[in-house]
């Protein structure tokens, strides 16, 4: 039984994240989305809000659950008994940071493997940051996020 965690800030969850989760759910027996508290990133949505928005987005996927975590990623993997950390790669620009993180995590905990999935070609340009920027400037964010997230963004930015 292979369990994986999919960590991130998810501020908020986008269709890019969901594409990765849907594909990951076909590979792993259980996929645990780990919403990081990340207070340093000054999130638009609280940890609790990000958790609930993600939970609503994956309610139909029985092998996926959503939790929060604080602290080291490798400790979260151990806490949830996962041997794999799933991350997404959008562009070459993601690579440097992800490469460093994967090696650091491997040093900290050699039993945990980081696996990368390329984004679907319709999602490679999507990031939570850009979606928030478009929402703040009054653009239409419906093509990029699930409906309930679009509503939450509308409410937060008006």
Query: Is residue 119 at the binding interface for ligand ADP, with CB under 6 A as the rule?
Result: yes
Q: Which residue has the tokens 């699930």?
A: 146
Our answer to whether residue 148 is catalytic in this structure is: no
What are phi and psi for residue 23, nearest 5 degrees? Answer: -75, -40
Picking from 120, 56, 46, 42, the residue whose alpha carbon sits closest to that of residue 33 is: 56
Please tell me whether residue 17 binds ligand ADP under the rule CB under 6 A: yes
Q: With binding defined as CB under 6 A, does residue 132 bind ligand ADP? A: no
Q: Does 3 bind ligand ADP (CB under 6 A)?
A: no
Select from 53, 126, 149, 150 the one that contacts ligand ADP (CB under 6 A): 126
Query: CA 15: distance to chain centroid?
Result: 10
Residue 94 binds to ligand ADP (criterion: CB under 6 A): yes
22 binds ligand ADP (CB under 6 A): no
Helix (H, G, I), strand (E, B) or coil at 5: strand
- Rounded Cα distance between 36 and 50, Å, is 9
Q: Which of 41, 103, 142, 151 is catalytic?
A: 41
Q: Give the residue with the Cβ less far from ligand ADP, 19 or 63.
A: 19
Query: Quick one: 114 or 158, whose CB is closer to ligand ADP?
Result: 114
The contacts of residue 11 (CB under 8 Å, 6+ apart) are: 38, 41, 43, 44, 45, 50, 128, 132
50 contacts ligand ADP (rule: CB under 6 A): no
User: Which residues form the interface with ligand ADP (CB under 6 A)?
Assistant: 8-10, 14, 16-17, 19-20, 87-88, 90, 94, 119, 123, 126-128
């Amino acid at each position: 039984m292979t369990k994986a965690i999919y960590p991130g800030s998810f501020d908020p969850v986008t269709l890019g994240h969901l594409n990765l989760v849907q594909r990951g759910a076909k590979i792993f027996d259980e996929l645990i989305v780990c919403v990081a508290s990340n207070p340093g990133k000054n999130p638009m949505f609280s940890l609790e809000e990000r958790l609930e928005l993600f939970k609503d987005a994956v309610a139909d996927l029985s092998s996926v659950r959503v939790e929060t975590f604080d602290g080291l990623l490798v400790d979260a993997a151990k806490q949830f008994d996962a041997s794999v950390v799933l991350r997404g790669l959008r562009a070459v620009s993601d690579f440097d940071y992800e490469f460093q993180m994967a090696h650091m995590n491997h040093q900290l905990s050699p039993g945990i493997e980081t696996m990368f999935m390329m984004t679907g070609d319709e999602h490679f340009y999507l990031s939570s940051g850009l979606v928030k920027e478009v929402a703040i400037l009054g653009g239409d964010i419906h093509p990029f996020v699930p409906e309930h997230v679009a509503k939450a963004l509308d409410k937060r930015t008006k």
